[in-house]
Structures are given as structure tokens and as C-alpha cells.
A and B are shown apart, each in its own frame.
Chain A
């Protein structure tokens, strides 16, 4: 007698995203430590009486019971393991958390186990939920390690063209080549970006190290920006698309009270309010 496939199965997962389905349902995209990316139907979660809804919000880590369905599996039970609450109360951190979830979504194939990615996402969300931890550093570390776990580890230790050692001068980064290019090889290669000495140092540090290494770093805004743009460019090249949530992360940076876009500028009603508001 062949063994029956169990109709229900249990797994933990972090909810990456959700979209509406019909009147009261949602399709949730889950990332499980054992099963990788799963899409499942959460029936009735848009109703007030739903007991599952709060446990299936994006960026929640939950334990789930799922039933095998004809097309998609169905979530029958869910209970929060960790909700990363401080992350939900801070717009900048929430935006970065959504970005991290989107990267996992875009880099994963369905049902392809990758436990290191799950752990990395969980740790990153935890850091984003810790006000004392730098959100930007947490995301840069996340990007580098995610790239490595999905097979796109950039080569930072030697020239990707000639395999020669790299010296502390301005080198270059070639997204198509997947790593750093030394000055000697640079001339012959199209499509390279300049890479400053310090940026390469920091990238190596983040790639080889973990949060204990990264947490202590105090980087200038320019250096942080250079690293962010480089990684963003490399990710965009690899994915052949720009992650959509990046747009919002950028918008939040621009839309600080000091730098609010002019067309959304609100004049304070009185000079007293003007003194209180702004900057």
C-alpha cells in the first residue's frame, strides 16, 4: 500500500507579501525555513471575525498549518512566533523591512529550500525592529549575504578579470563580471563603476563578517550612499529589474520635513505653528 501524502502539514514562515483574492480572502507569499517560498490562500482573513488575519500580516513570523489544495495550499491555522512590532511603528524601518522581503521574494524560486536565507531575513527583521541598530547597515549586510546565499556573491578579494590582487587604490566594479576590476584591467572593460578604497574595505568587511562586525561601524553619509548605490545597481543587474519598494525607501529619505517636495508643501497656518513645525 503506497504511503498517503498527509493532507495537512506544519511549517514556520515569514510572510513576505499578500494580495487580495475575491471578497474575503488573501493570497499570502510565505518563506519557510524548510520549504522555501510558498504561496497559499488565507481564506476569510479580510473579515472582521478572522482569527488568522493578524498572524498573516507581511513581515510576521508565524507557525502555520496548511492543507494541500488543488491549486494553492490553504492556511488553516496560524500563530505568531515573532511580530517585530517596533518595525511596524517606524516608517523608515518598515520600508526597509518590506524591501528585504521583496528581495527574498524576487530571488527565490517557489518551493526551493534555503535555510540560510530564512535565517538572514529573520535576523535582519529583528535588527530593523531594534531601534539601537542601524537600519541601513542591517540592510547592506542583508543584501551582501543574500547575494551570496542565492549564488551571486560578488568577488571582492581579487580582480575578477585577471585574478590578480587588489590594492588600496580606486578600483572599479563590474556588475556583468560580478566583482571588482583592478585599474590595469579596467580600461578594456565597458560598463564599470568606480569603487573607492573605503567602500571596498567596508564591502569586504560586511561580506566576510556578521552583525557584530557591522554593528560597530560608523560610516559617513557619502560612504553609506556609495555602498548602497553599488549594491542596488548590482542587484538590479542580477534581477534584471528594480525592486519596487526601493522607490519608497528613497522617497522617505527625500521627503524629510526639511526636504519635503514642493508640491506637497503645507504652509503652517500661523507664525506660531510655523515656529513649532518644520525641520
Chain B
């Protein structure tokens, strides 16, 4: 048995351990990844290691909107083509990518890095809420769009921030809710249908 363990020499065992720490990577996947690295070229392995190091060294949080960025403030916050009176609040940096792909939003963003989930013990103090409030204090921002996900946690976050922000006169809006393109009415849940009906528009 000892032969089997020492057969996986220490650097390999360590690499397997490190891969195993990654989310969704079980012991078998970790072994497979480690042995892939062993078989691949030194350049490839080095490129992977360097990419990991670079991400940690070069990526930081934008001091304004909390997005992941190489430069601080990020490209969006420093752009003079954006509408600085509107901030769109999202849960994660990837949500910014999704909205930017629409090419129809010209304002700024704010990333909360999470969402309020009371049952998991995640409260507003665990998110980038204070930083958001700080951006509203000079009165330049007229509207905050709540673009958190349309689920219980996203709604709770939107309602909480609305409570916090609305009394100061800043307009707080929520993304429209309704049926996704390609969806079937008969499968839709009541909450979605009710909101879709409430938000109906002139055809």
C-alpha cells in the first residue's frame, strides 16, 4: 500500500490536492487534471500557472463600481460616454457582461458581489452596499436600477435597497418581470404571469 501512495510522488499529490480544492472538482477529476498537466508540455503548464498568477496580481475591484478590472477605475466607470446619472445594480460581474451585450444600456454599474439571503446568513453588510450608498451622496445619480435576479433573494435585495435609497429622492427602479422569449403561457407560474400582466404595454 505504501508503494501506491509513494508512487504518486509529492509534487503530483500536491497538485491533485490543489485541483481538489476547486469547486465542483472531486478526487477523480482532480487526478485526471493532474495527470493531464503531467502529459502536457512545459509551456502549456507554465501558461496555466502564469494565467492564474496574473489574475490574482492584475485583477482588482474597481473602487467605484466593484467590477473586476485590470485598471482602477474600470473601463466603464472612466468612460466619458456613459450616462453617470444612472447606476444599474447587479449581483455579480458576469451580469455586467450580459447587460453590456444588449448594447442598449449606457449608464454605470454597481456589483454587490452576492445577494441578500437571510436563511444562509448573507445580509446587506456582507455585500457592497455601503460602497453603493457612498456613490449616491453627491446627488449626481438620479436613478438606481435594481437588476438583481428575479427570484426571492434578488427581490429581497431590491426591496431592501429601495427602502434604503428611495427616501433620499433617488429614483429606484426594478427590471421588468415577465415571460421569457420562447416561453409558453401554460407553463408559466402565477407570480411571473401576474407581473407580466401588470407590466403590460401598448402593442
B5 at the interface (CB under 8 A from A): no
Question: A91-B163, A94-B156, A94-B159 known; A80 and B189 CB under 8 Å?
Answer: yes
Do B169 and A98 touch across chains, with their CB atoms under 8 A apart? no
Binary B-proximity of A241-279 (CB < 8 A = 1, otherwise 0):
000110111011001010010011011111001001110
Residues in B whose Cβ lies below 8 Å from that of A249: 118
In Å, the complex CA distance between A105 and B167 comes to 36
A131 at the interface (CB under 8 A from B): no
Residues in B whose Cβ lies below 8 Å from that of A260: 164
Q: Which residue of B lies closest to A258 (CB)?
A: B167
A119 at the interface (CB under 8 A from B): no
Quote the shortest CB–CB distance from B122 to chain A (angstroms). Answer: 9
Which one of A49-57, A68-76, A158-166 contacts B? Answer: A49-57
Quote the shortest CB–CB distance from A14 to chain B (angstroms). Answer: 13
A48 at the interface (CB under 8 A from B): yes
Do A99 and B130 touch across chains, with their CB atoms under 8 A apart? no
Quote the shortest CB–CB distance from B164 to chain A (angstroms). Answer: 6
In Å, the complex CA distance between A278 and B121 comes to 28
A101 at the interface (CB under 8 A from B): yes
In Å, the complex CA distance between A53 and B179 comes to 12
Question: A98-B119, A264-B129 known; A269 and B169 CB under 8 Å?
Answer: yes
Question: A273 contacts which of B121, B169, B187 (Cβ < 8 Å)?
Answer: B169
Residues in A whose Cβ lies below 8 Å from that of B189: 53-55, 57, 60, 80, 83
B184 at the interface (CB under 8 A from A): yes
Within 8 A of A (CB), among B100-145: 116, 118-121, 123-124, 129-130, 133, 136-139
In Å, the complex CA distance between A51 and B166 comes to 34
Do B167 and A244 touch across chains, with their CB atoms under 8 A apart? no
Question: A245-B118, A276-B169 known; A264 and B133 CB under 8 Å?
Answer: yes
Do B168 and A88 touch across chains, with their CB atoms under 8 A apart? no
- Chain A residues within 8 Å of chain B by Cβ, number: 46
Do B119 and A244 touch across chains, with their CB atoms under 8 A apart? yes
A184 at the interface (CB under 8 A from B): no
Question: A248 contacts which of B118, B139, B164, B180 (Cβ < 8 Å)?
Answer: B118
Do B123 and A49 touch across chains, with their CB atoms under 8 A apart? no
Interface size class on chain B is: 35 or more
B191 at the interface (CB under 8 A from A): yes
Do A266 and B164 touch across chains, with their CB atoms under 8 A apart? yes
Residues in B whose Cβ lies below 8 Å from that of A51: 183-184, 187-188
In Å, the complex CA distance between A244 and B117 comes to 9
Residues in A whose Cβ lies below 8 Å from that of B119: 17, 58, 98, 101-102, 105, 244-245
Do A251 and B123 touch across chains, with their CB atoms under 8 A apart? yes
**10 A-B residue pairings within 8 Å (CB atoms):** A59-B152, A83-B191, A98-B152, A247-B123, A252-B160, A255-B164, A266-B137, A266-B165, A267-B137, A269-B169
8 closest Cβ pairs, A-B complex: A54-B189, A269-B139, A273-B169, A245-B118, A248-B118, A244-B121, A277-B167, A51-B187
Q: Which residues of B contact A (CB under 8 A)?
A: 24, 116, 118-121, 123-124, 129-130, 133, 136-139, 151-152, 155-156, 159-160, 163-170, 180, 182-184, 187-192, 194
Q: With A83-B190, A88-B155 given, name 15 new contacts (CB 8 A).
A: A17-B120, A49-B180, A51-B188, A53-B189, A55-B189, A85-B191, A88-B191, A91-B160, A94-B152, A101-B119, A244-B121, A248-B116, A260-B164, A266-B168, A276-B169
